[in-house]
Homo-oligomer: A and B are copies of this chain.
Amino acid sequence: MARTAGSEGSRTEESIRRAAIGLIAERGFEAMTLRELARRVGVQPGTLYRYFPSKGRMLVELLLEHLEFLLGQWERTQPAGADPLERLRAFVDFHIRAHTLRRREVFVANMELRSLAPADRRRVVALRRRYEDILAGILHAGVAARVFRVPDVRVATFAVLAMLTGVGAWYRESGRLGKRELIDVHTQLVMQCVGAAPPDHDGRSP
């Protein structure tokens, strides 16, 4: 039988992408086998090669697509205004949403840089750097405007990102906290961390 009735290329491609992200997140890129991926998609291993030229390229494409999506989303979402506090709040909200919604993509993008060929790694790292720079920019502006107080902007950027990204590692939809609380809690933690005047403190603060 040459092909299953009704299955189309673009549908197959999307299935592969989804299954691949899931499998890589579960097992790790090196531990995942194309056989298993194919089985999960419901095709023969050879079929994967109609959509990706090699296992390695598949990883790059998945990562690039994810990071481009992330950056594109932010561009579309970010608040117009320039208030650092407002922008930081928006960033935390965006990041947590993205990192819980696309948990597996984020996880893979963080874990599998190692598995990329050097040239590919550079491309991916460059995109990731652009994402980090969004936060770095906000912190810089906030420090300049004296609404944030951090000992070292670069380090604070890494610290905040690590803090926020870590969420994906333990958050479960079914857990104790809803997404709204999750965002609120992290907003407060981040605000405290960067030394922003705590919003719920009010005049009574020491």
Interface residues in chain A, defined as those with a beta carbon under 8 Å from any beta carbon in chain B: 26-28, 30-31, 111, 114-115, 149-152, 154-156, 158-163, 165-167, 169-170, 176-177, 181-182, 184-186, 188-189, 192-195, 197-198, 200-201, 205-206
Candidate in A169, A170, A185 with the most chain B CB atoms within 10 angstroms: A185
Given A165-B162, A166-B159, A197-B206, answer yes or no on A150-B28 (Cβ-Cβ < 8 Å). no
Is there an interface contact between B158 and A186, defined as CB atoms closer than 8 Å? no
Chain B contacts of A186 at CB under 8 A? 155, 159
A163, A166, A167 — most chain B CB neighbours (10 Å) = A163
List the 4 closest pairs (A to B, CB-CB), nearest first.
A162-B166, A30-B30, A193-B193, A159-B163
Taking a contact as CB atoms closer than 8 A, the residue among B27, B193, B197, B205 that contacts A189 in the complex is B193
Q: Which single residue of chain B is at the shortest CB-CB distance from A206?
A: B197
Copies in the complex: 4
Chain B residues closer than 8 Å to A115, beta-carbon distance: 28, 31
In the complex where A159-B166, A193-B192, A195-B192 touch, is A31 in contact with B151 (Cβ < 8 A)? no
The answer on a CB contact under 8 Å between A189 and B159 is yes
Bound together, the chains give a CA A149 to CA B158 distance in angstroms of 22
A150 to B189, CA, bound (A): 7
What distance in Å separates the Cβ of A114 from its nearest Cβ neighbour in chain B? 5
A-B contact pairs, 22 of them (CB 8 A): A26-B114, A28-B30, A30-B30, A149-B198, A150-B189, A152-B177, A155-B182, A155-B189, A159-B163, A159-B166, A159-B186, A160-B163, A161-B166, A162-B163, A162-B169, A163-B193, A192-B192, A192-B193, A192-B195, A193-B193, A197-B206, A201-B206
For A198, what are the chain B residues with a Cβ–Cβ distance below 8 Å?
149, 195
A32 smallest CB distance to B (angstroms): 9
Distance, CA A177 to CA B154, complexed state (A): 11
For the A-B complex with A155-B185, A158-B170 known, give 19 more contacts whose Cβ atoms are closer than 8 Å. A27-B114, A28-B28, A31-B114, A149-B198, A149-B200, A150-B189, A151-B185, A151-B188, A151-B189, A158-B166, A159-B163, A159-B166, A159-B186, A161-B166, A162-B163, A162-B166, A163-B163, A189-B193, A192-B195
